[in-house]
Structure 1
């Protein structure tokens, strides 16, 4: 139960991060908040920050103080969310700049 609960929460959080990054790009395009270069740069920085954070956690062996969270694959989920956001950024850049 603990393993399922901690893994489930991490997976849901990773999916929320990934979709949140894509919806952030879409919202800034629809609302016209920033210019195209700024919004794509910020989305790229978010994706790279998630990947860098995952690599930091993986290399340092940072332990989450929750019982059973050690096997929750937190660095893998963060890397996947960052890669998903970077893919969305490249896709949006292709749509904007051709």
Structure 2
């Protein structure tokens, strides 16, 4: 098994503020997507299709959610894709 190397970070104060801001934006994006996901009816598609609908909203969200423009789109989409992992893990337990 291959393990990824881990490195201890020592960010400057401004870097720490940026990291905190990005983490907070990801948390808000996840919570926003989860709220919308719960409103999508199950017959609207499979789990992945419903989550993909939320990911497809990202360009429109960036128009009014200024903090999302500072965040890489891949990171914002990954925050939403966590819904799939959370839903699948809750089904197996």
TM-score range, shorter chain: 0.3 to 0.5
State the TM-score, normalizing by the size of structure 1: 0.44
State the TM-score, normalizing by the size of structure 2: 0.46
Q: Decide which structure has greater helix share.
A: 1
